[in-house]
Chain A
Amino acid sequence: MDNLIDKSLLLEKAKSLVSLLERENATNDEIEVALSEIATAGDSNLFQELGKMTREIHEAIMSFRMDSRIANLANTDFPDAKDRLEYVITMTEKAANTVLTVVEKGTPVAEKLSTQAKHLGEQWGRFRRREMQGDELRAMGSEVEEFFAESETMMSELLSGFTEVLMAQDFQDLTSQIIRKVITLVDDVETNLVELIKIQGEHLTPPPQEEKNKKAADDRANLDGPQIPGKETDEVMTGQDDVDDLLASLGF
């Protein structure tokens, strides 16, 4: 660092200080200025280092700001991620409704088939036990014919329902892809935040531990929603059996 001291400059300043001291009418102020000039000349290496650091920090911050990835995150990726997640909700809802509609339409069809089959089974039993008269027998014949025709239509109705249910499952593939993209985005944000903290070079004090809210259960913000497997905490029941045990311990 010695090479940073400008010797000729220092010598010049020293000479002018000496001549100032030899002058009888030199004021205290003048002497102080000359002294501080010498001190500054000696410290110039420190100031240069500081200047260099400041410039580095400035450049780092500027390059951080200029990083298009950051701008993209804020301007495009985040709104995009929100749209994507909204789409996940839309898709899962659509799939659920498709399946529910098939079930709601299919259940009475299956029930009707089952009832008719039971009825015909009983008729057939009577026929086998020779309890049936000619007219009844003819009636059963046409009922059987009707049943065959109807069951074919009903079965194809049910089968097309099954196909609909099958096709509705494509949401799983699509939503996972979307969610995976959002996970990547969150990863990116994390990386960039770590960079930012490094640049800032400060030891961020960890946020104070959230105070336990005594009325937690009363506060909607505190409702956790569905438990994610592997993310349960101690005070959370892991399933219906746990809930039943807890309720039993409360006298239920």
Chain B
Amino acid sequence: MKILIVDDFSTMRRIIKNLLRDLGFNNTDEADDGNTGLPKLQTGNFDFLVTDWNMPGMTGIELLQAVRADPKLKNLPVLMVTAEAKKEQIVMAAQAGVNGYVVKPFTAQTLKEKIDKIFERIEG
């Protein structure tokens, strides 16, 4: 299972990376926004994307839309981990085809639950 973590804050990437490792996902890569993340997704054979929303350059929602518009990536499961908690934003992410939405600050347990749920649904 190869996972790409996209967030503009390196500390947040490290936190997510460590949490994922604790959950048994050791194969992760990082990008600091959509502009650097998308090419990695297109060439890197990733199985899962964890992305922030608010980033300089290409935002998480734009990255999500680009992923869904790409024939090769359109089925990639995407988990959004973001501080944005407005109702209209969550609705927008849902409409754009997000698979899970975690608001910061979050706990390790929440992240685990959402990831488990996403894979349950994909496998089920």
Contacts and interface: CB of A to CB of B under 8 A. Distances in A.
Interface of A: 93, 96-97, 100, 103-104, 107, 216-218, 220, 223-227, 232, 235-240, 242-243, 246-247, 250, 252
B83 A226 contact: yes
Interface residues of B, number: 29
Contact of A216 (B11, B18, B53, B88): B88
Given A216-B86, A238-B85, 19 more contacts: A93-B11, A100-B18, A216-B88, A217-B86, A217-B92, A218-B61, A223-B84, A223-B89, A226-B104, A227-B83, A232-B85, A237-B86, A237-B103, A239-B103, A240-B106, A240-B110, A243-B90, A246-B90, A250-B94
Contacts of B84: 223-225
B93 to A, nearest CB: 9
Interface of B: 10-11, 14-15, 18, 21, 53-54, 59, 61, 83-92, 94, 100-106, 110
A223 B92 CA distance: 13
A237 B90 contact: yes
Nearest to B96: A217
Nearest to B107: A240
A104 B103 contact: no
B85 A100 contact: no
A236 B85 contact: yes
Contact of A235 (B18, B88, B102): B88
A248 B84 CA distance: 18
A127 to B, nearest CB: 32
A247 B101 CA distance: 8
